[in-house]
Structure 1
Amino acid sequence: MWSRSQLSVRGRIDRWRGKSWVVLQCAVAASVAWWIAADLIGHETPFFAPIAAVVSLGTSYGQRLRRVVEVTLGVAIGVFVADILVAGIGSGGWQIGLIVLLSMSTALLLDAGQLFVTQAAVQSIVVAALMPDAGGAFLRWTDALIGGAVALVAAMIVPAAPLRRPREQAAAVARKIAALLRAASDVMIDGEVAPALELLADARATDRMIRELQSAAEEGMSVVSSSPFRVRHREGLRQMVELVDPLDRALRSTRVLVRQTSIAAYRHRPVPSSYALVAADLAAAAEAVADELAADRLASAARDTVLAVGAATGRVERSEILTAEAILAQLRAIVADLLMVTGMGQLEATDALPPPR
């Protein structure tokens, strides 16, 4: 229990560290938006300026520019509509309902996104509940635009971390494939059921790694699309993003291999020792791929290592046991997937494998 609690605390701290730049950015943007609206322009209580800035930036880098535009316009429309209506009909239960109806309808008629529509409704409620003074509509509307403008500038200033995350996560996936292959090789040799079942549970828990890789790739592309200071990284990041699909395939193939290996151990089906050696060599090849990715290079330098393992799959003996044959087939599938990670096309990778003996 204590160990699990420690892991939970450590995970939360790591999460905070990963978002610390965004949190700091939101804090600075809120402060700057207030300062511009209050001190430079002279608005008395420009609370919509920091609200628009913080909501626009959010806590992720994904689609920031679109979010800034949607939130800014949504806040501006909600504030403007609510200010005008409250000045005419006052504030109360039915008035708030009418204001939300008109604000959301206006946003929808403008063909806005969900965030735009939601912000229009939320900010109109805030204005209606606060019962603004007559004539304050323009001030609050400009406050929202100020906050959005500050967020727009802040969105262009991003650290290098989101650009590193795709390759770091890609390397982590490749290393996980290597670890699963090494463990599968041990199970093929020992045939022990308990380690096989533990390995199977470990393999089944890897879905999150691909989701994290996809998220990192999307976030990285959003950064280079939104920040003019990171445009030079676009091509390299695009090449890294293209590895998401083959890495996903390789990890899925590895999970199938682990399942077949576990079945062989559970049913006491012998697996040729040469298959275990191929799995171990393939683990080393996957580790070489991971090293290249971690060094921010394409994995083409590891291609010969993967090809050597592929050649070995054509020389090993065949088995009359169906489970063992399935293991060999999956080893060959993983080789093809890793060749795609090194930059080969799908047909080229498949053709690079020699026919089984």
Structure 2
Amino acid sequence: MSDPRSVVAAATPVVTAAKASTVDRLKASAVRLRLSAIPIVQCALGAALAWFIAHDLVGHLEPFFAPTAAVVSIGVSFGARIRRSAELVIGVAVGIGIGDLFIAQVGTGVWQVGLVVAGAMAVAVFLDSGAILTIQAAGSAVLVSTLNQAPGAGPARMIDALIGGLVGVLMVAAIPLHPVRRAREHAAEVLSVMSKSLITCADGLLEQDSSKVHESLTSVRATQKQIDALRSALEGGREISRISPLYWNSRKRLERIHSAADPLDNAIRNTRVLLRRSLTLVRDDEVLDPRLIDLVDQLGHAVDVVRRMMLADPGEQPDQAEAARGLRSVARNSRPELVAGAGLSAHVVFAQIRSIVVDLMVVCGMQRISAIALLPPTVPNPYVTPEE
């Protein structure tokens, strides 16, 4: 019989990992709820206000489209709300118009419903590629072709949709999210994953542990949703900075973060390449200069400083200076002798380190050509003699 103590000892790491995973999921859920708190409030108040205006002030008996339009135009995704409002109103108008026209001529029934929906969606797709416009056109066509509506209900529904869309825009202006903070948080989240992955990768390279490198690669591969969320937050932030007087003065800060989005995306893509090649390097038992491993670790810690800079207030220049200083140190240490006589994978890792440094310097506000100039040359200068 096996020793019970050995069974417990063997099960302990599994239990610990399960608890850690559960805690991580709960933390992620809490962060997601916190980031969505204001949009939830906006949707709730917007739906109630849209119903009140359409039902109590305008006098529509069943203003279904008013709160629906308000919720859809606000949404929780924090991006392109004005466009969503326009798509919703146009979609409802297309669906109701085609539905009323069709049903008046051919009546209701199984094939009529299918034909009305197909016609409404085809017209919506022809007018625009927006998904909301197409879905709203189809939904409105279904309602028109299946529900018994009172005469003149078509125009009333279009008015309700317009009321809801306008209320949605009003809610965004009256109770706005901070247009810069949310984008900074998404960027910092990407940088956090990137930093931890590079540090873990350095440990894996040092210990020849492919599982650590693979774990890092998996984490970085999952950052695309954060990049997409960052771009959505920037788009939503631009809308808020245009329609909300409270944040008109945030446009310059928002543009700075917007200019950092592409180089940050490039940096995370280059990190994926670095980690993939590091995994190949470990699995092939390729010899690696310890100084190159240390450089990967240095880069990971420098990325964490950039993360703190991203979360800092605009006036906190020391964080920006510290981030640039850390990246310059990595740049100075990325000398070609680190890969002298090394294999292909080591050269790829070395090249990606230099590319990531340049990308992150651009994130910090430096011009790309100036960032490249800080890197040690990889080939001798033909205009300098050895005596010089």
Bin the TM-score by the shorter chain: 0.7 to 0.9
1:52-87 CA distances to partner (integer Å, 9 max, x unpaired)? 323333332211111112212332453455457656
Letter in structure 1 aligned against 2:329: A
Match of 1:257?
A: 274
| Closer/same/farther in 2, CA of residues 304 and 126 from structure 1, 3 Å limit | same
Aligned residues of 2:99 and 2:141 also touching (Cα < 8 A): yes
CA distance in 1, matches of 2:351, 2:129: 50
1:332 aligns with 2:354: yes
Match of 1:168?
A: 185
CA distance in 1, matches of 2:196, 2:263: 18
| Matched positions, count | 357
| Closer/same/farther in 2, CA of residues 345 and 31 from structure 1, 3 Å limit | same
Aligned residues of 2:185 and 2:311 also touching (Cα < 8 A): yes
Q: Pick the aligned partner of 2:328 from 294, 307, 325.
A: 307
- Structure 1 unmatched runs, 5+: none
CA distance in 1, matches of 2:38, 2:342: 55
What percent of counterpart residues are identical? Answer: 34
Aligned residues of 1:30 and 1:54 also touching (Cα < 8 A): yes
Is the partner of 2:61 in helix, strand or coil?
coil
1:77-102 CA distances to partner (integer Å, 9 max, x unpaired)? 53455457656765444554565466
CA distance in 1, matches of 2:177, 2:166: 23
TM normalised by structure 2 equals: 0.77
| Closer/same/farther in 2, CA of residues 53 and 340 from structure 1, 3 Å limit | closer
Is the partner of 2:174 in helix, strand or coil?
coil
1:60 aligns with 2:77: yes
The root-mean-square deviation of aligned C-alpha atoms, in Å, is 3.3
Q: Pick the aligned partner of 1:349 from 368, 371, 384.
A: 371
1:20-41 CA distances to partner (integer Å, 9 max, x unpaired)? 3323322222222222222223
Letter in structure 1 aligned against 2:361: L
CA distance in 1, matches of 2:62, 2:186: 45
Q: Deviation at 1:261?
A: 3.1
Aligned residues of 1:87 and 1:133 also touching (Cα < 8 A): no
Alignment of 1:151-300 (within 5 A): 151-161=168-178, 163-297=180-314, 300=320
1:298-356 CA distances to partner (integer Å, 9 max, x unpaired)? 87522233122211223855531214344333322222222222222333222221224
Is the partner of 1:142 in helix, strand or coil?
helix
1:212-248 CA distances to partner (integer Å, 9 max, x unpaired)? 3333333333433444443321221111021122122
1:166-203 CA distances to partner (integer Å, 9 max, x unpaired)? 21222222233322332233334333444344444444
Letter in structure 1 aligned against 2:271: T
1:125 aligns with 2:142: yes
Match of 2:8?
A: none
Q: Pick the aligned partner of 1:42 from 26, 36, 59.
A: 59
TM normalised by structure 1 equals: 0.83
CA distance in 2, matches of 1:104, 1:206: 34
CA distance in 2, matches of 1:8, 1:258: 24
- Structure 2 unmatched runs, 5+: 1-14, 381-388
Aligned residues of 2:38 and 2:177 also touching (Cα < 8 A): no
Is the partner of 1:242 in helix, strand or coil?
helix
Alignment of 1:5-44 (within 5 A): 11-12=28-29, 14-44=31-61
CA distance in 2, matches of 1:317, 1:233: 44
| Closer/same/farther in 2, CA of residues 54 and 351 from structure 1, 3 Å limit | same
| Closer/same/farther in 2, CA of residues 147 and 83 from structure 1, 3 Å limit | farther
Is the partner of 2:77 in helix, strand or coil?
coil
CA distance in 2, matches of 1:98, 1:262: 54
| Closer/same/farther in 2, CA of residues 98 and 15 from structure 1, 3 Å limit | same
Match of 2:383?
A: none
| Closer/same/farther in 2, CA of residues 79 and 352 from structure 1, 3 Å limit | same
1:145 aligns with 2:162: yes
Q: Deviation at 1:14?
A: 4.4
